[in-house]
Amino acid sequence: MNNNKISLEEVAKAAGVSKMTASRVIRNKGSFSEKTRTKVMAEVERLGYLPNRLASVFAGDINSTFVGVSIPDLGNEVFGLMLEGIDRKLGAFSHQSILGMTQHALNQEEAWIKTVLSWQPAGLILTGRSHTQKSQAMLKAAGIPIVEIWDLNSSPIDMSVGINHYDSGYEMGRYLVGKGYRKLGYVGTSHLTANAATARMNGFTKAIEDAGSRFTKHLCLHDNPGFYPGFYGTEQLLASSPDIEAIFYQNDNMAVGGLNYCETKGQKVPDDIAIAGWGDLPILSIVPYKMTTVRVPHLRLGRMAAEVLLDALHGNATRNSYDVGFILIPGSTT
């Protein structure tokens, strides 16, 4: 079939044995003599034989070593960290990630799920807990382990690894109100669909309501949650509501952008304005303030999702929902 690729049959013929014997030697499964092994392996080397895994998976009832991994995008640093954690762990167990970037769109996720399932993956890791009806149906019918990561789902399709984003926003809201701030703002980005960041924002707002404080202003930019959007988002927010006392950002990168805006404008942090981020991202290590933030173990989250999936593959699934937790870290910016 394929151009000029060496097949098992050719190796077998060259070694003077049957296909089956060659197959057994190559997979080191079943029995064969040492002499046979030597002969076969010599031909494998000589011919540069590479097995066709498509055929193996197809023929045997064995599982593939593909794992589909969907993330919204890589422009957001946290997803890069998660992906790194996932792929490193999977790679260590000889599994490969098939990437899917959904760009925060559920219908794109659906299309990707359909395609990736057709490749007979061993399992799937999906970022987020919202999926279209059709996606859910396909996922359930697939009969393979599915891990929803990032946004903890207490009743997941199959398994879930993440944190409670709503609670983390709530805790930050309560913390800021506790510090005496009364006029609060939020700066983030908006997506096509409700997501973890939205949950944080909602938790934040709720905490403020619960505390009897009511002034909150939200700004959701149509941009990626990076440094510069934090900068100009702050500018916009303060232009429309100059009396805001504290701002909670979608993540630390945006918060650093905001911090920078305040410095540029001569606003003292936290006296004139308080700033809080989220994620405990690398940038914080060099900011000349200790930023108030929420620490989330991104790499570990990815690693754990992969672990849970591999466990399920090996038949050792136990719980189906893993909360990796977060910690609010008070700093000197609030």
Partner DNA sequence: TTGAAAGCGATACCAA
Partner DNA sequence: TTGGTATCGCTTTCAA
Q: Count the residues of the shown chain that bind a second copy, applying the rule CB under 8 A.
A: 66
Residue 30, binding choice from a second copy, DNA, none, Cβ under 5 to 8 Å by partner class: DNA
Interaction between residue 65 and DNA (CB under 7 A): no
Can you tell me which of 133, 285, 316, 318 binds a second copy, judged by CB under 8 A?
285
Interaction between residue 21 and DNA (CB under 7 A): yes
Question: Which of residues 171 and 280 has its CB atom nearest to a second copy in the complex?
Answer: 280
Strand 96-101 and strand 123-127: pairing?
unpaired
List, as one string, the DSSP characters of 153-174.
-SS-SSEEEEE-HHHHHHHHHH
Interface stretch with DNA, choices 51-59, 106-114, 199-207, 264-272 (CB under 7 A)? 51-59
Question: Which of residues 98 and 324 has its CB atom nearest to a second copy in the complex?
Answer: 98
Can you tell me which of 28, 45, 60, 155 binds DNA, judged by CB under 7 A?
60
Can you tell me which of 11, 12, 78, 81 binds a second copy, judged by CB under 8 A?
81
Q: Residue 164 has which token pair?
A: 């409670």
236: alpha, beta or left? (left if phi > 0; alpha if psi -120 to 50): alpha
CA atoms within 13 A on the CB side of 71: 22
Interaction between residue 29 and DNA (CB under 7 A): yes
Q: How far apart are CA 117 and CA 202, in angstroms?
A: 34
Residue 137 corresponds to which amino acid? Answer: A
Interface stretch with DNA, choices 56-64, 66-74, 98-106, 270-278 (CB under 7 A)? 56-64
Whole-number Cα distances in Å, 16 to 9, 110, 124, 303: 10, 49, 42, 46
Would you say 225 and 189 are in contact if contact means Cβ atoms under 8 Å apart?
Answer: yes
Residue 18, binding choice from a second copy, DNA, none, Cβ under 5 to 8 Å by partner class: DNA
Would you say 315 and 296 are in contact if contact means Cβ atoms under 8 Å apart?
Answer: no
Interface stretch with DNA, choices 22-30, 236-244, 245-253, 302-310 (CB under 7 A)? 22-30
Q: Residue 303 has which token pair?
A: 């690693």
Residue 325, binding choice from a second copy, DNA, none, Cβ under 5 to 8 Å by partner class: none
- What is the SS3 assignment for 308? helix
List contacts with DNA (CB under 7 A).
1-2, 5, 7-9, 17-21, 23-24, 26-27, 29-33, 35-36, 51-52, 55-56, 58-62
